[in-house]
Amino acid sequence: KVKAQLEEKEGKTFDVFTAVEFKTQVVAGTNYFIKVHVGNEEFMHLRVFKSLPHKNEELSLHSYQGSKTKHDELAYF
């Protein structure tokens, strides 16, 4: 659901877009920190926010970090 949001922010498309790890943080909703393989040896870390159910809002890409590797620790940001 957030692939299109990331592609728009980056100004490019990703042929590969596979989540390989995630962590959660409960706030007024849930933050998902997701390590995504985007091709070759390149990974990105995404912070995705999911609102509480009664708000009925779409998932939103809050922020992201590029130039990551498979072995970079997925940390809260």
Q: What is the pLDDT of residues 13-61, one digit of tens each?
A: 999 999 999 999 999 899 999 999 999 999 999 999 999 888 888 889 9
What pTM, to 2 d.p., does this model score? 0.87
Domain boundaries, the chain: 1-69
pLDDT of residue 54: 82
21, β-bridge pairs:
35
Q: What is the pLDDT of residues 1-12, one digit of tens each?
A: 899 999 999 999
Report how far apart the first and last C-alpha atoms of the chain are (Å, whole number): 20
